[in-house]
Amino acid sequence: MMADHAGERPSEWLTVVPATASDEPAVAGTGGDSAAATHAGPGELGASGVEARAPVVRLAGAVARTRDGLFAALTDALTLPAHFGRNWDALADVLRDRLTATPLTLHVEDAGQLLADEPAGQHARFLAVLGDVAAEAPHPLRVVLRERPPR
């Protein structure tokens, strides 16, 4: 069941970084890789200005235009188990399991493409799943959605 986030401030777990002309793409996946995990020390600031936590999983929005693409990219980046069901409930379960051990930051570059080929409700559903997990998890989940600047 999805939690009611009406009283919750999404800024505690969600950061949206608008595009500016000086932004440069800063994510693996734009050269053929779909996702990458990187590690940063506590207190270090990432390119978005958000405090980095280890690990940081970076996804290119272009490879996650569909649910299948998103689930495939997350499976690769997070090394999800073979039994991952590739649906929203299964994603919530594996993220909760992951967050029992360590915090996680999910950084999506070119976020305007995220689930762009799916019905409009799928993007909202993805954010609702992440919000529910962030509210329940023993370790922080942070999500950074970064837009690519116009060319």
Count of domains observed in the chain:
1
Reported as a pLDDT band with limits 50, 70 and 90, residue 34 is: very low
The residue written with tokens 């693996």 in the block is 28
Contact at 8 Å (CB) between 65 and 114? yes
Between 99 and 49, name the one with better pLDDT: 99
2-16 pLDDT per residue, tens: 444 444 445 588 898
Residue 28 forms part of a structural domain: no
31 within some domain: no
As given in the structure block, the two tokens for residue 2 are 């999805």
Contacts of 120 (CB under 8 A, 6+ apart): none
Whether pLDDT at 77 is above 50: yes
CA distance linking residue 133 with residue 110, whole number of Å:
23
Q: Is there a contact between 45 and 51 (Cβ–Cβ < 8 Å)?
A: yes
Does residue 7 lie within any of the structural domains?
Answer: no
Q: Is the dihedral of CA 132, 135, 136, 140 positive or negative?
A: positive
Tokens of 96: 């909760």
CATH value at residue 70: 3.30.370.10
Residue 149 lies in a domain: yes
Q: What is the pLDDT of residues 105-151, one digit of tens each?
A: 999 999 999 999 999 899 999 999 999 999 999 999 999 999 987 66
